[in-house]
Amino acid sequence: MKGTPEVPDDLVPQPRLPNEMFLTLHGGYQVPQIGMGMCCRPTAYDHELVYRTALWYLLLGGRHIDGAHLYLNNKAIGRGIQEAMRRGIKREEIFVTSKIFPTHFGYEAAMKVVKSDLDDLGLDYVDLFLLHFPANFPLLGSPCQKEGKGASECRKETWEALSELRNKGLIRNLGVSNFAKKHIKELEELPNVAPITNNQIMFNPFVPDNVMETVDYCHSHNITITAYSPLGGAGYKDRAIVNEQLTDLSLKLGKSTSQIMLRWAVQKGCIIIPGTGNPDHMKENLNVYEFELSDSDMKQIDDLKYSAKGTAAMMHLDTRNLK
């Protein structure tokens, strides 16, 4: 089978990385700043390759897996986690994220999704559970919308349901994904619910300037940022490889341009979830803990910011106008 190679039966877990970095969420929970994104590549949609990916990553020293109900691969991720635990990795060392898409927004539907995800993963709890997107796409419905409720009311109802599950210990932390500042404020105003601990968004050196408004708001309100597409995404990945500033730093530091971009995001105080089914690339990504960019290096990359234009800018999900 092409893609992620088989995991040797005699491969034992590597210890946690000596220079591993964490961010602290509400309540004191710590999340590793480097995780494995389980979406949006060919090896993320074959269950055997997903199993191998999760297992390789955990055995190589990674401890953070980012999935979602929408990805339809939780059972395979769960198999990988269970096998890693069988080989000696403790459950409490593994940080697992899942998400609920707006097609399942609503009190009862949210309860069912969390139960389904836990059953598929074979876990008693998830470490972080996110609202995947603030509102449904056109022509897609949800149980909540079928009751005549609007997007805002559906978000609030879902958040209240997840908060109850957090109180029961089935979820340890709650967060959001692709949320603009106004959507975050709306949930922050709800009484007697769980705090927002994380916002997962597309974030890399080429983001358009409106993204930074959300990042700055989150950081100032003790909400961590998880960066998906930290290597530029479909609009900028190829450009990043040949970018002069990045290639100059690559030669200077003896690191790949991908490693430099990942380290930049880590030093910006973000969690990163690059996705790969290649064990060598996993090792390269985890190696980002082992070097540091100087202030001048960081400024050189900072100067690339706000440069997304045309098609590349369109690849960034701008949710500010969603109700």
The more confident residue out of 292 and 149 is: 292
Q: Which residue(s) pair with 140 in the sheet?
A: none
Q: Which of these is catalytic: 71, 228, 236, 289?
A: 71
What's the pLDDT score for residue 137? 73
Residue 208: C-alpha distances to residues 114, 276, 308, 312, 315 (Å): 33, 25, 5, 9, 10
Query: What 3-state DSSP class applies to 208?
Result: coil
| Sign of the dihedral defined by the CA atoms of residues 126, 98, 62, 85, in that order | positive
What dihedral angle (degrees, nearest 10) is formed by the CA atoms of 119, 122, 124, 128?
-90
State the Cα angle at 61 between 280 and 14, rounded to 5°. 100
Q: Which residue(s) pair with 131 in the sheet?
A: 100, 176
Question: Average pLDDT in the 288-317 region?
Answer: 76
Taking the C-alpha atoms of residue 94 and residue 99, their distance in angstroms, rounded to an integer, is 17
Q: b/e map of 131-169 (b: 16 or more CB within 10 Å)?
A: bbbbbbeeeeebbbbeeebebbebbbbbbbbbbbbbeee
State the Cα angle at 172 between 167 and 175, rounded to 5°. 105
pLDDT(62) > 80: yes
Q: Which of 58, 66, 38 has its CA nearest to residue 50?
A: 38
Question: Average pLDDT in the 116-126 region?
Answer: 98
Q: Which residue(s) pair with 97 in the sheet?
A: 66, 128
What's the pLDDT score for residue 223? 98
Helices marked H in 122-228? 143-146, 151-167, 181-188, 209-220
- Asked about 107 being catalytic, the answer comes back as no
Backbone angles phi, psi at 242, to 5 degrees: -110, 5
Give residue 232's pLDDT band: very low, low, confident or very high (50, 70, 90).
confident
The more confident residue out of 85 and 315 is: 85
Name the one residue in this structure whose structure tokens are 């997304």.
Answer: 308
Question: Average pLDDT in the 161-187 region?
Answer: 97
What's the pLDDT score for residue 146? 83
pLDDT(252) > 60: yes
What's the pLDDT score for residue 311? 47
Question: Average pLDDT in the 21-25 region?
Answer: 97
For the question of whether the overall pTM of this predicted structure is more than 0.75, the answer is yes
Backbone angles phi, psi at 129, to 5 degrees: -130, 130
Question: Which uninterrupted H or E stretch holds 59?
Answer: helix 47-59
pLDDT(306) > 60: no
Residue type, 89: I
Other C-beta atoms lying within 10 Å of the C-beta of residue 92: 8
Q: What percent of the chain has pLDDT over 70?
A: 90
What's the pLDDT score for residue 141? 75
State both tokens at 263. Answer: 């380290």
Q: CB under 8 Å to 13, separation ≥6 — which residues?
A: 58, 59, 61, 84, 87, 88, 89
